[in-house]
Amino acid sequence: MQIQHPTASLIARASTAMDDATGDGTTSTVLIIGELLKQAENLISEGVHPRVLTEGMIKARDKALELLEKIKIEGKPDRQRLYDVATTSLRTKVDKKLADQMADICVDAVLNVQREDGIDLHMVELMEMQHKTSTATTLVRGLVLDHGSRHPDMPRNVENAYILTCNVSMEYEKSEVNSGFFYKTAEEREKLALAERDFIEQRVKKVIELKRKVCPPGSGKSFVVINQKGIDPYSLDMLAKEGIIGLRRAKRRNMERLSLACGGSAVNSVDDLTEDVLGYAGSVYEYVLGENKYTFVEDCKNPLSVTILIKAPNKYTLTQIKDAIHDGLRAIKNSIDDGAVVPGAGAFEIYAWQELQKYKDEIKGKSRLGIQAYAEALLIIPKTISINSGFDAQDMIVKLQEECRESVGPVGVNVDSGEVLQPVDAGIFDNYCVKKQILNSCTIIASNLLLVDEIMRAGMSSLKG
């Protein structure tokens, strides 16, 4: 996005940084910074100095962070809590029915790749397929490779497959340094060509020997070779005759994921191959869509890498769903990393507004005006939720403020009925780290903008003098 205005550019960068840090909260960041500046403008036009306002805003931010610690719900999240967090994030981006389906997929994906040392979301591959409808999106407990076998006689569908992942050249390669072979007769040239061919064939034969060892006739087992380097037509033919599926030039990122999804380990040499290096998949099959081929490696025993196969009828929908799933995955990861969640539906903002009104009365001097401005700015979140749901913002804010005074627990906006609800009972939760980051970054950006304006004015007046 090309933004020329320096203030707008700064807000846009803050929003981008928010997405990089937490994966969510971009819209909230823009809304709150804008509202803080709007509230400040009203007070500055009445003669309040920006420095006084920013001091009040910083005090209000510190108090809001204390309130966030009070309202957060701590504890290791179970599957239902993670599902609630995912639906809260996804329903703001895609249709409700699709969001609920995606939430299930995202939770299963994250739980599959979770390890003792943390969660690496790079182990969740997002594969796009322009096919069928968006509700056909599925989770593959294994890998989907965007290419197929290169030999017409190779099996297209095998079960109980041993997977050999290797980075071994099964084709003749030119030497890395400049070299030449000289011969005097046609017989000598023929010997050179045969020796070259035999060198590659010996490698392929070692793979075939391992296959015969682990897949004896009648065992119901099959064998798949996935190679990062090339496999030439002669070698492919040898593998096809043994009923082996051979995939060549697999992407490096897929090679890393294959070992995690299927087990086993990638090998760089075919010398001393043993059964220990092999992975396992319950099903390996090829799927052809138009001119594109896909290879599915499914039903792995304990997959530490999975694939979300995104299906949609057009490119725009694919991009929209991919972005939504990315945010859903980050929301689930944040909940597990934080060990806490915050009630959603605008509940924290209403609670913070109420407590800041009380806190304002404890502060003396003009800085209390900054606290008042900060409290009012936070209300932009429930207001926007109400407007986007088709309800009157002022009516909703009045209802929430009345209910917040009387209710014991946090209250938020019901987007279906326009009434007040208990977000904890409704299963609406936001990420703790997202809220914390919003409070910090929005206050800093708004304060800097207010003070920079004052510096600019001072600079201009000194130039005139």
Spell out the per-residue pLDDT of the chain, length 465, in tens. 567 777 788 888 888 888 888 877 888 888 888 888 888 888 888 888 888 888 888 888 888 888 888 888 888 888 888 888 888 888 888 888 888 888 998 998 888 888 888 888 888 888 888 888 888 888 888 888 888 888 888 888 888 888 888 888 877 766 666 667 677 788 877 777 777 778 788 888 888 888 888 888 888 888 888 888 888 888 888 888 888 888 888 888 778 888 888 888 888 888 878 888 888 888 888 888 877 888 888 888 778 888 888 888 888 888 888 888 888 888 888 888 888 888 888 888 888 888 888 888 888 888 888 888 888 888 888 888 888 888 888 888 888 888 888 877 788 888 888 888 888 888 888 888 888 888 888 888 888 888 875 555 555 555 454
CB 82 within 8 A of CB 107: yes
Instruction: Tell me the fold of 143-302.
Output: GroEL (3.50.7)
**Nearest in space to 159 (alpha carbons), one of 215, 220, 207:** 220
Domain residue extents for the chain: 6-75+341-451, 143-302
With 0-12 / 13-18 / 19 or more C-beta atoms within 10 angstroms meaning exposed / middle / buried, residue 363 is: middle
The 10 Å Cβ neighbour count of residue 324 is: 22
The yes or no reply on domain 6-75+341-451 and CATH 1.10.560.10 is yes
**Nearest in space to 247 (alpha carbons), one of 294, 292, 279:** 294
pTM given for the model: 0.79
The 10 Å Cβ neighbour count of residue 187 is: 9
**Nearest in space to 242 (alpha carbons), one of 208, 203, 285, 202:** 208
